[in-house]
Chain A
Amino acid sequence: MSIVISKEKKEVGLLQTVKEISGVDVAGCLQCKKCTNGCPVTALVKVPPSEIIRRLQLNAGDSILSSDLVWMCASCEICYSRCPMQIDMAAVIDALRMISIEKNAAKQKGNVPLFNRWFLKTISIFGRTYDLGMIAAYKIGTSSYFQDTDKFPMMLQKKKIALFPSFKADRKYVKRILKKKK
């Protein structure tokens, strides 16, 4: 497969930023493709993990941020687990996600950043997750009102999902941690 790359001419490239955020050095990559062959979503993406690493090494710049894998990676960590050079690819993808949000490059099918925001918002309010609240917020945010609506009556009847949030968590503690983040 050929990879077409237009090089960026910035002093500090994406590679350096990824390294700073994740603490991972991708220089040792052998391109053996154990990550790509093990990755559960390889068959579904255009740019597999080993190619992301090559693009980073060649300093392909911000075009990497719009690679579909960035938001389709399931964080299952098989890439890291099988890598003979112990490169933590899952952490590299996490770093790419953070940069992509910062640069507003995250525009893909399924709004994972929105879900993540609401997840963290919920735990800052209750100290724990609240499924129904998160689902409602996500549905409103993505206008996907009718997806899975057939499942809720059954889940509520079986008590497979909680109707109300929990109030037993130490909420102040979580608020403190979330505040420190910024």
Chain B
Amino acid sequence: MKYAFYPGCSSESTARDQYMSIREVSKVLGIELIEPKGWTCCGSTPAHQTDRILSIALPAANLLLAKKMGLDMVVFCAACYNRMKVANYEIQTNSKCRKEISDSLGEDYDGSVNIHHFVEVLVKYIGITKLQEAFTHSLDGLKVVNYYGCLLVRPYKTTNFDDPENPMIMDSLVTMMGGESIDWPHKVECCGGGFALTRTDIVIELSNSILGMAKAAGAQCMAVACPMCQVNLDLRQSDINKTKRTNYDIPIVYITQLVGLCLGISPENLGMDKCVVSPKPIIEAVISNEQRKIFL
């Protein structure tokens, strides 16, 4: 199984752990991920707030690289995933837009590269049978809330990821790993995303509501699929506790880190030491006593 892999800028900085876990998991499952040479930023929120053509040309530039490789594109960051899906949609449905983009890129791109989220690759293309054969460890009844965030599921007609109001793909993965995936209403709420630096007050309000619901649902940990959500919910948890007088202690991990643990990969290799809220309860639930001595 071979894909072009777009790691996204945050994989080199605040989401190094996400990158490490994807690489490790792919190695074990035999998924070959090739990064397009010289890949560039997708433009994210600042691009679409500034100029419409720019916000389509930047992701299209990377999709063009994948097209030349003759491969489907695999993405993990929800923002990159969303921007690329929007670019494909606009280019396919709007001929004037396609013309403008080819002017901007200096080459025509037809919007034909298939884009998959890494979780989709795991569940839809590797499949349940193969995954279950590969798992050496179990989440052992760990109570997990799955947080999908905004940009994977919205807008539905463009991303076509899963049910836009009640997605289940990550839940099915958690159940497969022996965890208890909790039903909760904040799966696709917004964490404040791009306001991480500019309006931390909004991030605190929105993330507080998500963490509060996770706690009320009895979650032992939260699984995420977006680097922005991870940073906001993990790094800001202490700020929220301070300003909102709460006492959240919920580890926020990438779903790929949970998959990695169940495949028997060490927490260090999955970058779990980078979590701000200690993921120790998760590691303890997954790894048996003897092995635990080595890791903790």
**CB <8 Å contact, A160 and B14:** yes
**CB <8 Å contact, A177 and B58:** yes
Contacts of B38 in A (CB 8 A): 127, 168-170, 173
Q: Does B189 contact A (CB under 8 A)?
A: yes
Q: Does A22 contact B (CB under 8 A)?
A: yes
Contact of B51 among A72, A98, A158, A169 (CB under 8 A): A98
Quote the shortest CB–CB distance from A46 to chain B (angstroms).
Answer: 14
Contact of A174 among B37, B40, B48 (CB under 8 A): B40
Quote the shortest CB–CB distance from B202 to chain A (angstroms).
Answer: 6
**Interface size class, chain B:** 35 or more
**CB <8 Å contact, A127 and B12:** no
**CB <8 Å contact, B154 and A80:** yes
With an 8 Å Cβ cutoff, the count of chain A residues facing the other chain is: 57
Quick one: CB contact mask for A14-46 with B, threshold 8 Å, 1 for yes?
000000011000000000000000001100100
Which partner residue on chain A sits nearest B36 by CB separation? A170
**CB <8 Å contact, A123 and B198:** no
What residues make up the interface of A, taking CB atoms closer than 8 Å to B? 21-22, 40-41, 44, 72, 74-78, 80-81, 88, 91, 94, 97-98, 109-112, 115-116, 119-120, 123, 127-131, 134-135, 138, 147-148, 151, 154-155, 158-162, 166, 168-171, 173-174, 176-178, 180-181
Additional A-B contact list (19), CB under 8 Å, known A155-B235, A161-B13, A162-B12: A22-B52, A41-B206, A77-B150, A91-B52, A98-B51, A115-B197, A119-B44, A127-B41, A128-B9, A128-B12, A159-B274, A166-B12, A171-B40, A174-B40, A174-B58, A176-B105, A177-B54, A180-B103, A181-B54
